[in-house]
Amino acid sequence: MKSLDDLLGRIRRGEPLPFPMGGLLSAATPVWRLGMARRMRLPRVRVDAHVVSFGNLTVGGTGKTPAVIERARIETARGKKVAVVTRGYGTKRKAVPEVAQGEKAIALGDEPGLVGLRVPEAYIIKCVDRVAGAQTAIDSWGCDTIILDDGFQYVRLERDENVLVIDAGNPFGNRRLMPRGILREPIESAVRATHVFVTRCDQAKDLDIVIEHLHRLCPHVPVRKTVHAPTSLRRLTTGEALPLETLRERPVCAVCAIGNPEAFFATIEGLGAVLKERKAYRDHAAIPRAALEGNDLVVVTEKDAVRMVDPPENVATLRVELRDFQEGGDA
């Protein structure tokens, strides 16, 4: 598994691949394109609710979950009845939608669980057929607002807002389609977006170039520049809140199983921590308890914390919120 993880990491970072692996993966790209072409030809379905989709052009790691949480909280504060509809990682083809709220949403997966914990008023619905999931939210729970998680390629469900989330630090990978690259579809597909959220602008080396390219791709679409701002640090075993200043000049071990581990490590370093060790596992993987044990403080993401049942006492979770990027200053 380690060699597979290394391969996936090299693809995500756009690094050269050993011969003949690069050629073999490139040869498989037309098969992937056929699948997307087929989805584009499917009949569209509109449901009786306001539908907002958040999604990526690339595979994972753009940081859309904080954007989903932000919008779900905004809509519930407005008095809307909100459902977040997700396919869920590793979901089998099950026709019956699974529904949960709050802490019970953890049973649906790490990302649905995190959304449920952060927005307990929202219904979290997991279903491969997201049209069926949306219809269940409307018919059974009276929802008037549907937030479609990871929905940019799920074109079958019509949407009123189509938000494309782009990671400023790695917007298009190596510009190759899967499986040779991380693009799910050609970059030009950004034209379908009604809004673009650019995340982690504080970590981008060439932000102006990224923004200029997006304006060329979809000139009439508003582009929002954002950051994932750390807001709190909490010890997992006790729930004790720790000041973010706790990390300054402190030796820390960072452990995660997310799509973009480098961004998480950079966030911790940005708080002044001395990263003594970095441990990255495949996205959605269960982190072994042995990887968390030790004398140093271990920091994990909220998404990883959702899956932890009996973490060691030295583990803390870092919460981030989506905030607007302030040019020339802090978010």
pLDDT tens for 233-277 read 999 999 999 999 999 999 999 999 999 999 999 999 999 999 999
Give me the pLDDT at residue 13, please: 79
Strands 123-126, 145-149: pairing is: unpaired
- What interhelical angle do 110-118 and 64-77 show, nearest 10? 30
Mean pLDDT of 47-70: 95
Give me the pLDDT at residue 90, please: 62
**Pick the residue with more confidence: 287 or 328?**
287
8 A C-beta contact, residue 201 and residue 325: yes
Give me the pLDDT at residue 16, please: 83
Q: Residue 66's Cα: distance from chain center in Å?
A: 7
Does residue 290 surpass a pLDDT of 80?
yes
DSSP category for residue 181: S
Measured CA to CA, the distance from residue 272 to residue 248 in angstroms comes to 4
Query: Confidence class of residue 8 from pLDDT cuts 50, 70 and 90?
Result: confident
Q: What is the CA radius of gyration of the chain?
A: 20
Could you check whether the bond before residue 230 is cis, i.e. omega within 30 degrees of 0? Answer: no
Give me the pLDDT at residue 196, please: 98
Measured CA to CA, the distance from residue 197 to residue 228 in angstroms comes to 12
Does residue 27 surpass a pLDDT of 90?
no
Which residue's entry shows tokens 């009845």? Answer: 81
Q: Residue 259's Cα: distance from chain center in Å?
A: 8
Report the predicted TM-score, pTM, of the whole model to 2 decimal places.
0.93
Q: Which residue, among 94, 102, 138, 142, has the nearest Cα to 122 in the 3D structure? A: 102
Measured CA to CA, the distance from residue 320 to residue 303 in angstroms comes to 11
Using CB atoms within 10 Å of the CB of residue 11, give its burial: 0 to 12 exposed, 13 to 18 middle, 19+ buried. buried
Phi and psi angles of residue 65, each rounded to the nearest 5 degrees, phi first: -60, -45
Q: Residue 295's Cα: distance from chain center in Å?
A: 30
Measured CA to CA, the distance from residue 37 to residue 42 in angstroms comes to 9
Does residue 329 surpass a pLDDT of 80?
no
- Per-residue buried b or exposed e for 22-47, using 16+ beta carbons within 10 Å of the residue's own CB: eeebeeebeebeeebeeeeeeeeeeb
First CA to last CA distance, the chain:
38
Q: How many CB atoms lie within 10 A of CB 2?
A: 6
pLDDT tens for 153-187 read 999 999 999 999 999 999 998 899 988 999 999 99
Give me the pLDDT at residue 19, please: 78
For the chain, the average pLDDT equals 93
Q: Which amino acid is at 317?
A: T
